[in-house]
Amino acid sequence: MIAARTLLIGPVGMPLPLAAAGFTQTYATIRGGSLLRLADGSGLQQSRWRKLSTTVSGSGILPAPLAALDWDAPLILGCVAPRGIWTAGAPVELPAARRADVAPFALAAVGAGMVRASIEVAAGVATIAPVAGATGYCVYYYPQLTVVSAGPMERFDVFERVAGFDVEFEEV
């Protein structure tokens, strides 16, 4: 697997070894919409828009270099957790909002496991080289999002000498 080794927040590129003791990123969908119930009780999903929210958490021996960021302005977030798109094998259109410094990669479902599959990306479309016996493929990419945040929650354990942070972001 190709890994993004640097978390990018605005102009700060934070190498992952700074957060080597623990680092996580989670994604959640936020949306404008609701589930409407009809007279017979069946549901009708209505949605106007969808965006991502993400939480980045890390810990290490030093605090993360986040103090000088302008948390009142939108920021560019170069994510370190990949997102995947499942396909039966057809070319996959990748989101334009993805990191250019980390190449997308693909895995093929073969039997009960996953094996590496070759892909070529041109004009935002990933074409997967067929793998014998594959029943499907997953193309992974690293998002690059324009986000807003109230800023980090930072902590430091004086006795254990471990610093940490949590930052919640929402895509604009």
> What are the structural domains of the chain?
1-33+43-81+143-172 (2.40.30), 82-141 (no CATH)
| Residue 76 banded pLDDT, cuts 50, 70, 90 | very high
Provide the pLDDT for residue 12.
Answer: 79
Phi-psi region of 111 (alpha: psi -120 to 50; beta: other; left: phi over 0): left
pTM of the model: 0.88
The pLDDT tens digits of the residues spanning 103-161 come to 999 999 999 999 999 999 999 999 999 999 999 999 999 999 999 999 999 999 999 99
- For the segment 63-73, the average pLDDT, to the nearest whole number, is 90
Judged on CB neighbours under 10 Å (0-12, 13-18, 19+), 11 is exposed
Beta strands of 5-152 (E only): which ranges?
A: 6-9, 12-15, 22-37, 43-60, 75-78, 83-87, 92-93, 105-110, 113-117, 119-122, 125-128, 134-141, 144-148
Provide the pLDDT for residue 17.
Answer: 55
pLDDT at 63 over 90: no
The count of other CB atoms within 10 Å of the CB of residue 8 is: 19
Judged on CB neighbours under 10 Å (0-12, 13-18, 19+), 84 is middle
Q: How far is 76 from 12, CA to CA, in rounded Å?
A: 10
